[in-house]
Structure 1
Amino acid sequence: MEALNNIERIKQEINQYYEMSFENEIEDYLFNKKLKEKLQKVIIDYNTDEIIIQKALLILAESTGCDEDQEIADEILDLLYDKKYIKQKDLDFFYQNVATRRWF
């Protein structure tokens, strides 16, 4: 339950991020990345719990809407997959739910 609460807090932080403004694009990018790396940490910490993995990946997918977001997500997914925290089916789940698909 703690992990689900943590995911929900991260989701709220991401939603708040969309309302924020930054001095420059670099600050914006780094803050965005830092938020999404929190989802990465949840997946690492709870890598044996499929429900937690799916929920975290869904939030990551829903908050991936532009090239910069996709770059961040790809870095996270590559690390998680390479270190065997997620499987191919998890990658497939992410890409089926990624927000950028709405423009295809």
Structure 2
Amino acid sequence: MNVEVAYALPHEQKIIALQVDDECTARQAVVRSGIVELFPEIDPETTPMGIFGKAIKDPGTRVLIEGERVEIYRPLIADPKEVRARRAAKMKAQKAAEAEQAVKE
């Protein structure tokens, strides 16, 4: 069956198509794809994975289906909740400054 393995960095991505047997797991597909040779920071035993954007709890037991793409996830640089909170605080401060400036005019 045909599957893909994908990994993306901020300025580079790689999608490798490969043929695997019917009982191939997500982890096995990653190893067989050879993507670890291109990106040595990937550890198939511990790196989080998903299929089409949905995380897999245990890539070692998740058997793939024809046409699926295994995505290898990188660690987050910043917590999305913190980023949203900072953005909201910045917008609030900006609106307060605009309101203060309107009162002065």
After TM superposition, the score normalised by the length of structure 1 is 0.25
TM-score normalized by the length of structure 2: 0.25
Select the structure that is richer in strand.
2
